[in-house]
Amino acid sequence: MAASAFKIHIPTPLRQFVAGDEAVQVPGTTVSDALANLAERHPGLRKHLYDDQGRLRAFVNVYVNDEDIRYLEARENTPLREGDSISIVPSIAGGRR
């Protein structure tokens, strides 16, 4: 069975690596598959999403629909279903005391 295509919403700071697109359609059966396909299609994104060991960077938050995958049992291996969308949300730090 062929993998379905899923929409991945790209945050503004990373859009320069996807020709300015707000969202990109990629195939996959799990969140991990979809993100790997995104990085393969847009190699400039890889260093922003993954560390040197190939793990998703700690400051990159990924949501399936409105669910943060860090709190789902399968995390990156969360299966995708037709109609799901993925959002990449970089952590924002800083501020003033």
pLDDT per residue over 17-54, tens digit each? 999 999 999 999 999 999 999 999 999 999 999 999 99
For residue 24, tell me if it sits in a domain. Answer: yes
In a domain, 97, yes or no: no
Tell me what pLDDT residue 97 has.
Answer: 65
Identify the pLDDT of residue 59.
87
Task: Report which DSSP code applies to 42.
Answer: S
Q: How confident is the model at residue 90 (pLDDT cuts 50, 70, 90)?
A: confident
Q: Is residue 75 part of a domain?
A: yes
The domain total for the chain is: 1
- Report the CATH number that the domain containing residue 80 is assigned in CATH: 3.10.20.30
Asked if residue 8 has pLDDT above 80, the reply is: yes
- Mean pLDDT taken over the chain: 90
**Structural domain boundaries enclosing 86:** 4-90
Ranges assigned E (strand) in the chain: 4-9, 23-28, 60-64, 67-68, 85-90
